[in-house]
């Protein structure tokens, strides 16, 4: 095994996450959440389909 010790699946996952530069701090999470939450989704459906998807009856 090229001098590597046996790693559990969880340890392999943690190692891969570190190599990719993942950050699990609360500050990093909050920063990402603010980025995502401040944008409103595009409302590109026609009004009829949008109302149907929201459970509203036709007018």
Q: Is the pTM of this model over 0.75?
A: no
Cα 36–Cα 14–Cα 37 angle in degrees, nearest 5: 5
Residue 11 has pLDDT above 70, yes or no: yes
Contact 15, 7 (CB under 8 A): yes
53 contacts: CB under 8 Å, gap ≥ 6: 45
Contact 15, 22 (CB under 8 A): no
pLDDT at 50: 64
pLDDT band at 7 (very low <50, low <70, confident <90, very high): very high
State the average pLDDT for the chain. Answer: 78
Cα 11–Cα 12–Cα 15 angle in degrees, nearest 5: 85
């Amino acid at each position: 095994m090229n001098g590597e010790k046996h790693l559990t699946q969880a340890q392999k996952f943690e190692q891969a996450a570190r190599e990719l530069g993942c950050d699990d701090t609360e500050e990093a999470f909050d920063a990402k959440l603010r980025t995502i939450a401040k944008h409103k989704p595009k409302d590109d459906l026609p009004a009829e389909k949008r109302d149907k998807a929201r459970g509203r009856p036709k007018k």
